[in-house]
Amino acid sequence: MSDSGALSSPIANELAKKISDRKVVIGIMGLGYVGLPLAIAFCEKGLSVIGFDIDEEKPRQINQGRSYLKTVASEAVAKAVEQGSLKATSSPEVIADVDVIVICVPTPLNKYREPDLSYVENTVTLAAKYLKKGQIVSLESTTYPGTTDEVIRPVIEATGLKTGEDVFLVYSPEREDPGNTQYSTSTTPKIVGGETSDALRLGCMFYELVVGEVVPVSSLATAEAVKLTENIFRAVNISLVNELKVTFEKMGINIWEVIEAAKTKPFGFMPFYPGPGLGGHCIPIDPFYLTWKAREYGVATRFIELAGEINNSMPDYVVMRLREALDMNLAKGLRRSKILLVGVAYKKNIDDTRESPALLILRKLKEAGADVAYYDPYVSVIPKTREYPELMGMQSIGDGDLAAGGFDAALICTDHDVIDFSRLVDSCKIVVDTRNATKDVSEHRDRIVRA
C-alpha cells in the first residue's frame, strides 16, 4: 500500500511522517515466541524497539544480550542491544514513549474450551494508563472476529482518547512458524486490517518497514478471520489424515505411502500428515475461537468440532497401539513396562512444548502404571504448564542412556532430525512410530509399529 497522499488529520499525518522517516519508536508487549522475533526483525531494519514483559526474567536476559528461545539467536539479541536499537523492561510506563504498541500475548482456551482473553484484556488495560494521542495500537494475538473492536477499543476510549482520531487501531495476525528455516518474520506476507482508512494506511506503512509484502484487508474483523481460517484449514485437514490413518491401518495400508503417492499429482491435492495429536500455540486452539463466536450468531461449526474430536482422540489411539504392541510382542501390559517417550516438543527441531500431545500421552502412560522416561535433545526439562503441573521438572535422559535404558518400548512423538532412529530401533524391543520417523531404518523392521 502506497504511503503517498495526505491522511485525514494532522495527528495521522504526523505519525505517517515519523514512519516514513523511520523515526518511529516501537513498543512490543509480550516477548515470547511471537514478540521477540518481531522485535529482532525491526531492530535488524535499524528501528528502535522497546520490549515489555511482565516476566522480569525476560527483559533481564534480553538486556544482557541473551535469548531464551532456541528460534532466536543470542547473537542477534546481543547485537541489537549493543547497537542501542533494543532495550527491554517490565515497567509499563515506557508505553508513553513509543509511537506504536504491538500486543503479542497468549490467547489460550479455558477448561471449557472457551476463549481466555485475560492476557489481552490485562495488557490493554495496563497500556491504556499510558496511551497518548498519535499512537498505533496493533494486536497480533490470534482471536475471534470482533475482538479488537469489542474488547480493545472500549478500554482505550474509556481513557478519553478517540480511536480513529487520536489512537489508530490495527489488527495484524502473527504468522510465526517456529523452526521454519524457509520463512521468517520478515519474509512472511503480513495481513493488516484497520478500524478506519487512516488506521489501515498507517498500519500498512508501519509493517512495510519490516515485511516484504503487506496484504491490506477491508476491516479488523476480516483480518481476525483470516488468521482463524488459516489454522482451521490445517486443523480440519490434519484431522482428515488422522482419520484415514486409523481406517487404513485396519486395512493393512500404510497411510504414509498413500500420501507420498498422492502428492505426486500436480494439482488438486495438498499433503498433510498424521501424528499423535495436535500441538502448538495456534492450531489446537484457534478453531475453537470461531466455534465459540459462531454460537452468538446461531451457527453450528460442525466441521471444526468434528476435526477437534478426531485430533483430540489421537493420544488415546496412540496409547492403545502401544498397549497392543506390548501385548502381541512381549505379552506384557503397560503397567510396569519400561517405556521411552521420544520427543515432547510439539513438532520437530524446536523446543516448544505448548499444547504438545506428547505431554498428554506421557500423563496417560504414567496413569496406566508404566515406568516412563523421555528423550528430547531440544527439551532438557519439561517446563511449567497450566495443564500438566505434575510433569514440570521432569528431565530428559541423555544420549548415552538410550542403549543402557533397557526399555521395553519406545514411542516416537516428535521426529527431531538430530535423533538417530536406527540406533533407537537397535536399542528397544518395540518402537511405536507416530511420525514415520523410522521410514529409512533398514534393520529390525519387525520391531516397528505404526501408530
User: Any idea where the domains of the chain sit in the sequence?
Assistant: 10-218, 242-450
Q: What angle do CA 316, 318, 324 make, to 5 degrees?
A: 105
Take residue 212 and report the three cell numbers written for it. 516484504
* Residue 443 CB neighbours (<10 A): 9
pLDDT in tens, 372-421: 999 999 999 999 998 999 999 999 999 878 776 789 999 999 999 999 99
- In this prediction, residue 1 carries a pLDDT of 55
* Residue 259 CB neighbours (<10 A): 18
Which CATH architecture does the domain made up of 10-218 adopt?
3-Layer(aba) Sandwich (3.40)
137 pLDDT more than 60:
yes
DSSP letter, residue 214 = E
Q: How confident is the model at residue 122 (pLDDT cuts 50, 70, 90)?
A: very high
pLDDT in tens, 203-248: 999 999 999 999 999 999 999 999 999 999 999 999 999 999 999 9
Residue with the bigger pLDDT between 4 and 256: it is 256
| Bridge pairing between strands 100-103 and 25-29 | parallel
pLDDT in tens, 257-299: 999 999 999 999 999 999 999 998 889 999 999 999 999 999 9
**By C-alpha distance, which of 429, 414, 370, 378 is closest to 399?**
378
Q: How far apart, in Å, are the Cα atoms of 308 and each of 94, 211, 241, 299, 346? A: 41, 33, 13, 17, 17
- Annotation marks residue 282 as catalytic: yes
Kind and range of the H or E element at 372? strand 371-375
Q: Whats the size of the chain, residue-wise? A: 451
Kindly give, in sequence order, each residue whose CB lies less than 8 Å from that of residue 445, ignoring residues fewer than 6 positions away: none
Tell me if 10-218 shares its fold with 242-450. Answer: yes
How many angstroms separate the CA atoms of 360 and 147, rounded? 30
Take residue 197 and report the three cell numbers written for it. 482508512
Among the options 43, 282, 413, 428, which is catalytic?
A: 282
- In the chain the first and final C-alpha atoms are separated, in Å, by 48
Residue holding cell 483480518?
223
Kindly give, in sequence order, each residue whose CB lies less than 8 Å from that of residue 129, ignoring residues fewer than 6 positions away: 92, 95, 159
Residue holding cell 496484504?
215
Over residues 99-127, mean pLDDT: 94
- Residue 97: phi and psi, rounded to 5, are -100, 0
Strand locations in 93-140, DSSP E?
A: 100-103, 135-139
Over residues 154-166, mean pLDDT: 97
SS3 at position 131: coil
Per the CB < 8 A criterion, the answer to whether 362 and 334 are in contact is no
Radius of gyration over every alpha carbon of the chain, rounded to an integer in angstroms: 24
Take residue 16 and report the three cell numbers written for it. 505517517
Strand locations in 16-128, DSSP E?
A: 25-29, 48-52, 86-89, 100-103
CATH level 3 topology of 242-450: Rossmann fold (3.40.50)
- In this prediction, residue 4 carries a pLDDT of 54
Q: What angle do CA 102, 105, 111 make, to 5 degrees?
A: 155
SS3 content of the chain, % helix, strand, coil (to 5): 40, 15, 45
Per the CB < 8 A criterion, the answer to whether 88 and 58 are in contact is yes
Chain mean pLDDT for the chain: 95
| Residues pairing with 115 in the sheet | 109
Query: How crowded is the C-beta side of 220, counted as CA atoms within 13 Å?
Result: 27
Residue holding cell 526483525?
41
Query: Residue 195's Cα: distance from chain center in Å?
Result: 26
